[in-house]
Every structure is written in C-alpha cells, then in structure tokens.
Amino acid sequence: MIIAPSLLAANFGRLTKEAQRAARSGADWLHLDIMDGHFVPNISFGPAVVATVRPLTRMFFDVHLMCSRPEILLEPFARAGANQMIVHVELGEQVTSLLWKIKSLGKKVGLAINPPTAIGMVQPYLEQIDSLLIMTVNPGFGGQEFIHETLPKVQQACVWRREKNLAFHIEVDGGINFKTAAECARVGADVFVSGTGLFGQRNLGAAVKKMRRLVEAAHLDAGCAQPPTSNLQPS
C-alpha cells in the first residue's frame, strides 16, 4: 500500500518546507501534478520546481503529466528527478511511443485515465505499464469531490491484473480522503494520491499513518470485490 501526498495542495509560498514535511511524514511517494493550461484548464508547475524539491527528499517522485504534448516534457522531467512519469490514455495514438520513451529514459511508466473515458481504452497497454492511474475526479484542480462512479473501473483493472497475472499498481487520484481511500482499497487500489486530504491536515505524519491503516484493513481479503451498488447512484 502506497500513500502519495500530492504537492499541488501544499502551500506554494513555503514549498521546500512543505516537501520536507512530506518527506518526514512516512509517505512513500510524492505526487507531482503537471498541468499545461491546455489538456486541463489550469497551470501548476514545471521541471524547475521538481528539480528544486528533488534534493530535499529521497521519496519516489510520481510525475503526473496532464499535458497535451508530454513528448516535449519527458526529458526535462527525467533530468529534474522524476522516478515515474504518467501520461494520459486520452492522447490516443501517441500513447505507445510515449510509454516507450519513458521506459527508454530509465523511468517507471504510468498511464492515466479520466472519469469519462471507458476503462477498455487502457486494456491494450496493461503489459507495458508499472502504474495505472484512475482519475477519481476530472483533472485540473485539487479539492474536488470524489466521483463514486469511477469505482467499477478500479475493480475492472483489479480483475484484469489478476487474470493476466500482472503486477502494475492501481493508483487512484482525486478526492481521496480517509473514507474514499478505504472504498478504493476495497476494490483493488494500492496507491492513494491525496492532496487536500493529507496536506490539509495539521499533522501530516499522523494522517499518512491513519490512511495507511485504513487502506490496509480495507484491502484485507478484498480480492477484486464488487463496489457496493448503492454508491453507484448519482448523489
């Protein structure tokens, strides 16, 4: 079980202190959201910021590229210290070459999928990836509410992983708090990205510990359990 605070929810006025706070918290990965103002209607930060926080921690840097042209950013983020780079399946026919490019840079390979995109779109790539990131909000902004209708996609990914005997991580991102993290763990997620849900807590170390305890308990014997149908109704 991997807990990944998202730096997007940190106080940008004290970014280095916030990165150190994450490093001390016991979290496994630091999630870095890269937004280009085109693929999503928001802009976050670039390779220079990632390179600034890189020397502060040995955490695994999980770089989520919400960008229309990730091909021009892969090398800069690799140099800046990314450990994994994630591109979106919505980019269509470029995806295969992007995954190969990330691999050729010696980095872990991730593929992300937005809430409106059918989970079948990722199926052809499952053998090639280290992580499948299932967006549980529409990307672009932190602090949004978890979309419960995404849970069956997590469950489907879990079934494919088991059937094909693969080992990719199933990562959930968006609106993840103590409650929704446990709901995702129950259907097979094992990486929990949380911005507001973790950075918003005064004691980040205690919050990471609590989230870990909850997802471990929810995952026990869960297999690829069906999500509860009551949660699938629009609220």
Catalytic site residue 173? yes
Least Å distance, CB 6 to ligand DX5, is 3
Task: Report the residue number, 8 or 224, with the smaller CB distance to ligand DX5.
Answer: 8
Task: Report the residue number, 171 or 224, with the smaller CB distance to ligand DX5.
Answer: 171
- Residue 176 interaction partner, one of ligand DX5, Zn ion, none, beta carbon < 5-8 Å per kind: ligand DX5
**Residue 139 dihedral angles phi and psi, to the nearest 5°:** -70, 155
Task: Report the residue number, 188 or 197, with the smaller CB distance to ligand DX5.
Answer: 197
- Residue 110 interaction partner, one of Zn ion, ligand DX5, none, beta carbon < 5-8 Å per kind: none
Q: CA torsion angle for 89, 113, 157, 213 (degrees, to 10)?
A: 140
Task: Report the residue number, 139 or 188, with the smaller CB distance to ligand DX5.
Answer: 139
Residues that bind ligand DX5 (CB under 6 A): 6, 8-9, 31, 33, 64, 137, 139-144, 173-176, 193-197
Residue nearest to Zn ion (CB): 64
Residues 163-182 that bind Zn ion (CB under 5 A): 173
In what side-by-side order are the strands of the sheet with 2-5? Answer: 2-5, 191-194, 169-173, 131-135, 108-113, 84-88, 60-66, 29-35
Which amino acid appears at position 46 of this protein?
G
* Cα end-to-end distance, the chain, whole Å: 29
Catalytic site residue 28? no
Structure tokens at 138: 């529409």
Residues 18-57 that bind Zn ion (CB under 5 A): 33
- Residue 174 interaction partner, one of Zn ion, ligand DX5, none, beta carbon < 5-8 Å per kind: ligand DX5
Q: Which residues bind Zn ion (CB under 5 A)?
A: 33, 64, 173
